[in-house]
Structure 1
Amino acid sequence: MAFRLGWKNSRSQRHLLQTVSGGVPLFPWRTAGSCLDPEMKAYLEDNTEVTSSGSLTPEIQLRLLTPRCKFWWERADLWPYSDPYWAIYWPGGQALSRYLLDNPDVVRGRSVLDLGSGCGATAIAAKMSGASEILANDIDPLAGMAITLNCKLNGLNPFPILTKNILNTQPHKFDLIVLGDMFYDEDLANTLHLWLEKYFWTHGTRILIGDPGRPQFSGHSIQHQLHRLEEYTLPEPTRRDNNGLTTSAVWDFHP
């Protein structure tokens, strides 16, 4: 099913996406949400629940997969789209979002790339904390729709969303890159590490990583280039849904 996201038509946002995507806009510039596929939107709304409980950021509302949703229990192969990882508020993203809300000076007036945005919570936290420009990046178009709906839940105009793998490109400079829960696979961890190093040495951009200490992260060589900024105790519902993980941390990347 073809799906395209639109967003607020402004000169700065147009330039932002054109620059990241190599000069060619990937989607039409329309009012955000105006071209959301109605069937897919209805399916997403019918099979997620709006919630703000059980996470580190009760001030952010999100559409998530919860025990009250059909596909929390239903066979996964009956879900008609790609895996709905965007419908889970992962612990690394929770830590990052909490950190930005508690430390708004980190993002206020700055441009932010939320890499692997998922449900968009960290990008939303950045917007709430005063970021001047935000680009949410995720490879799944359905994640893009979820981010748009989650922005509206929180009274925000949806920001640009790029549904494209950018790890084989070098986007223009952002003041800050944030990424949570992306070190879950060894090959991806290696690719990310190289990309982040190159981006840092090209642009000098600050890079913050959120992770609860998965083996692919805690055992990776990137650990030698990290400084832990904050560690959070995860709420009981998050611990229960993540195999007993108890904490999540935010790390500053310094190659």
Structure 2
Amino acid sequence: MILIGRRNLLQLCGRNIFRKGIKQKNPSRGLLWRCCHHGASSQLLHPEMRAFLEDNTEVINRGNLTPEISLRLMTSRCHFWHEKAALWPYGEPYWAFYWPGGQGLARYLLDNPKVVRRKKVLDLGSGCGATAIAAMMSGASQVVANDIDPVAAAATVLNCELNNVNPFPVLTENLIGTELDSWDIIVLGDMFYSEELADSLHPWLKKYAQAPGTQVLIGDPGRPYFVSHRIQKELHRISEYVLPEATAQENNGSTSTVVWHYQP
């Protein structure tokens, strides 16, 4: 079995990977994880992790909806795209792909900076950090990203550097079901990939979407667990984007992605 990118990971996304902690296939490398909890910055990024990411990703700013943003991603030119999955030393690298829901959210924020300007933004399930970076580029007063994979947090630090954006905090706890501070905007892309996760997200997001002054935006290309979920009755479509051919091919032929305003 080889690790090859997005097509295989799309099949894996039926599993609930938004869980507490992450399985390390090589526990001896634990030091690499300590740099990214609670407020990652370039000064805290361990040199070994930096070297690993730089060696095993490629800087990309094409083939997606946001050419303004450069990202370190895994591509077919990267070593582990073709390597045996067992040789990848960490959990599945979902952060290493720019999923279409996140692309739509990032595009929407870049096109509509007033949505986040001078506002506090939480990016849930942030992956490579593109949506959070878009919020920073659009003038948000405070941005916090959240992804339970510490490697995603490390990658986000590098992606901030690529885009000349000051690194923002990246929290690696599972926030779903917890009590949050007040936020002006909560954004999440590509999170409705399993029934269990959709069912846990719905009531938790509803609580915050109903709070005065809080807006919840969801990006999704039309995954089955999203379009069939009861949350659909409480969504307002605010923007739709045609996906570039490269993104469509890598996402089982999805041709568009939609940004929704959750209004329970």
TM-score, normalised by the number of residues in structure 2: 0.86
* Counterpart residue number, 2:185: 176
Corresponding residue SS for 1:40: helix
Deviations 1:208-231 (A, max 9, x none): 000000001011100000000111
Whether 1:221 and 2:230 are equivalent positions in the alignment is yes
* Counterpart residue number, 1:77: 86
Tell whether the 8 Å contact from 1:5 to 1:33 is kept in structure 2 after alignment.
Answer: no
* Counterpart residue number, 2:133: 124
Q: Quote how far apart the aligned CAs of 1:4 are.
A: 2.7
Tell whether the 8 Å contact from 2:61 to 2:67 is kept in structure 1 after alignment.
Answer: yes
- Alpha-carbon distance in 2 for matches of 1:54, 1:68: 15
* Counterpart residue number, 2:207: 198
* Counterpart residue number, 1:245: 254
* Counterpart residue number, 2:119: 110
Tell whether the 8 Å contact from 1:5 to 1:161 is kept in structure 2 after alignment.
Answer: no
* Counterpart residue number, 1:5: 35
Query: Which of these residues, 64, 68, 71, is aligned with residue 73 of structure 2?
Result: 64
Deviations 1:53-111 (A, max 9, x none): 10000000000001111112222221110111000000000000000000001000100
Deviations 1:5-64 (A, max 9, x none): 36xxxxxxxxxxxxxxxxxxx64x7x8221212222211110000010100000000000
* Counterpart residue number, 1:207: 216
> What one-letter code is carried by the residue in structure 2 that aligns with 1:111?
K
Q: Give structure 2 stretches of 5+ with no counterpart.
A: 1-29
* Counterpart residue number, 2:164: 155
Corresponding residue SS for 1:39: helix
> What one-letter code is carried by the residue in structure 1 that aligns with 2:141?
S
- Alpha-carbon distance in 1 for matches of 2:89, 2:126: 21
- Alpha-carbon distance in 1 for matches of 2:202, 2:111: 27
- Alpha-carbon distance in 2 for matches of 1:127, 1:40: 24
Structure of higher RCO (CA pairs closer than 8 Å, 6+ residues apart):
2
Corresponding residue SS for 1:229: strand
Report sequence identity in percent. 61
Corresponding residue SS for 2:35: coil
Tell whether the 8 Å contact from 1:113 to 1:178 is kept in structure 2 after alignment.
Answer: yes
Tell whether the 8 Å contact from 1:211 to 1:250 is kept in structure 2 after alignment.
Answer: yes
Whether 1:53 and 2:67 are equivalent positions in the alignment is no
Corresponding residue SS for 2:34: coil
* Counterpart residue number, 2:52: 43
Q: Give structure 1 stretches of 5+ with no counterpart.
A: 7-25
Query: Which of these residues, 178, 185, 208, is aligned with residue 194 of structure 2?
Result: 185
Query: Which of these residues, 159, 164, 187, is aligned with residue 173 of structure 2?
Result: 164
* Counterpart residue number, 1:17: none
TM-score, normalised by the number of residues in structure 1: 0.89
* Counterpart residue number, 2:105: 96
Q: CA RMSD in A?
A: 1.3
Larger mean Cα displacement after TM superposition, 134-143 or 192-201: 192-201
Tell whether the 8 Å contact from 1:173 to 1:203 is kept in structure 2 after alignment.
Answer: no
Deviations 1:164-208 (A, max 9, x none): 101131111000000000000110011011110122234541000
Tell whether the 8 Å contact from 2:210 to 2:263 is kept in structure 1 after alignment.
Answer: no
- Alpha-carbon distance in 1 for matches of 2:107, 2:96: 18
The alignment covers a number of residue pairs equal to 234
